[in-house]
Amino acid sequence: MYAVLPKRGVISVSGNDRFDFLQGLVSNDVRQLAEHRAVYAALLSPQGKFLHDFFLIKSGDVILIDSDKAQLPALLQRLAMYILRSKVMVEAMPQISVAAAWRIAESGNQGIGEQYFSDPRLPALGWRMVGTAAAIEKACAAAGMEPSDEKACDRTRLNLGVPDGARDMIPGKSLLLEFGFEDLHGVDFAKGCYVGQEVTARSKHRGQVRRFIYRVRAASGNLPPPGTPVTLEGAIAGEMRSSLDNVGLALLRVEAVQKADAGDMEFHCGHMALKASLPQWVTHPPKALAVEG
C-alpha cells in the first residue's frame, strides 16, 4: 500500500559546500546521509525554537529536502539567508513528488521512485519515496502495491503517536524535546554547533520539560480541532494538536498527565472524555520541572 502525499514538497541543495552548509544549520548529523538512508532533522530559530522539520535525502550530487509544501517558500527564504559565501544553491523542485508506503518487501524496494528510504523516525512508519509522480506510481504498481491516500498515512502516524512538525508544532514557540525529537532520531547531541543548539542542549542536560506530546483517544466521535483546550478536573492541562476520527495528539503538561495516571482520571476536550498515553516509542520519558520558590 502506498500514498502520494500532495502536502509535501521538495527543495534541492547543491554545490560543493552543501554538506557543511546544512551541518551548521540543522539539528541532526548530515554526515549520516547515504543512499537510501535519510536523516530526519529540524531548523530552529537562534532562540532554539522550532521553525521547520524535514527529511534530508542524498541524491547523487545534491541533497533533497522533503518538507511541508506550504512552508517551502519560508524554508527556501531562510536557507538563502544563511548561504552568504558558501558554494551552495537552493531551489524548489516542483516536478518531484513525495509518497509514503507500507509493507514493502525488501526485494521489492529496487526502483521504487527515484529515491526510497526507510522512514528514519520509526521503522513502523514504513518507507518514503521521492521522484516524479508517474515514476512512483509505475514502480509501486509493478511491485504489486495498491494505492491509498494521505488519510491512511496520517492514521498510521496518529496511532503510533508520532507528531508532524507542520501540524503539531508552532513555529517560533515549540521546543524539539517537547515533541520527542530525540527518540524520533531528529536531533544529535554530539554533532557540534548548529542554529539554536544551546537551548536544545540545555533542555537535554536538565532532563526536564514542562509539556510533552501525548497520544489521546476518545471512545467515539471526531476529536476537536487543533488548539482546543484540554482540561483535567476543570483546569487547563494543554491543548489538542492533529487528530483523525477519535485518535489524536495533545500537548499536555507533564505533571497533569502524572496526576491523571495516579488517580485513573480522564481529560476532557469540549464535550469529549479523553485518555492520554505516552507513545510506546518514547524511551526518554518526560519529567516535570520542579516548581521553584
Q: Confidence band (pLDDT; 50, 70, 90) for 139?
A: confident
> Do 237 and 290 lie in a common domain?
yes
Residue 190 lies in a domain: no
pLDDT at 112: 46
Q: Model confidence over 47-67: pLDDT tens digits?
A: 999 999 999 999 989 999 999
pLDDT at 287: 77
Number of structural domains, the chain?
2
Residue 261 lies in a domain: yes
- Contacts of range 36-41, beta carbons closer than 8 Å, 24 or more positions apart: 36/109, 36/115, 36/116, 36/117, 36/118, 37/117, 37/118, 37/120, 38/66, 38/117, 38/118, 38/119, 38/120, 38/128, 39/120, 40/120, 40/121, 40/184, 40/185, 40/186, 41/186, 41/187
Q: Model confidence over 167-204: pLDDT tens digits?
A: 999 999 999 999 999 999 999 999 989 999 999 998 88
Whether 113 shows a pLDDT value over 70: the answer reads: no
Higher pLDDT, 112 or 216: 216
Mean pLDDT score of the chain: 91
Which of 137, 165, 193 marks a domain boundary?
A: 165
Distance CA 218, CA 158 (A): 13
Residue 116 lies in a domain: yes
Distance CA 267, CA 214 (A): 12
> Do 56 and 127 lie in a common domain?
yes
> Do 110 and 248 lie in a common domain?
no
Which of 108, 143, 165 marks a domain boundary?
A: 165
pLDDT at 288: 61
Q: Model confidence over 263-272: pLDDT tens digits?
A: 999 999 999 9
Whether 205 shows a pLDDT value over 90: the answer reads: no
Region 216-243 average pLDDT: 97
Q: In this structure, what CATH number is given to the domain that contains residue 98?
A: 3.30.1360.120
Residue 65 lies in a domain: yes
Q: In this structure, what CATH number is given to the domain that contains residue 264?
A: 2.40.30.110
> Do 117 and 216 lie in a common domain?
no
CB 16 within 8 A of CB 166: no
> Do 253 and 131 lie in a common domain?
no
Whether 162 shows a pLDDT value over 70: the answer reads: yes
Total Cβ atoms within 10 A of residue 206: 11
Sheet holding 50-59, edge to edge: 39-44, 50-59, 62-68, 8-14, 89-92
Q: Confidence band (pLDDT; 50, 70, 90) for 104?
A: low
Q: Confidence band (pLDDT; 50, 70, 90) for 138?
A: confident
Q: Model confidence over 31-44: pLDDT tens digits?
A: 999 988 899 999 99
> Do 161 and 212 lie in a common domain?
no
Cell matching residue 15: 554545490
Dihedral (CA of 201, 23, 132, 127) sign? negative
Q: What is the pTM of this model?
A: 0.92
Region 212-228 average pLDDT: 96
Whether 26 shows a pLDDT value over 90: the answer reads: yes
CB 167 within 8 A of CB 70: no
Residue 177 lies in a domain: no
For the chain, the distance separating the N- and C-terminal CA atoms, rounded to the nearest angstrom, is 55
Region 83-102 average pLDDT: 94
pLDDT at 292: 37
CB 156 within 8 A of CB 125: yes
> Do 7 and 77 lie in a common domain?
yes
Domain that holds residue 261: 208-293
Residue 191 lies in a domain: no
- List the alpha helices (DSSP H) in 86-186: 133-142, 150-160, 165-168
Residue 198 lies in a domain: no
Region 91-117 average pLDDT: 72
Whether 111 shows a pLDDT value over 80: the answer reads: no
> Do 132 and 222 lie in a common domain?
no
115 three-class SS: strand
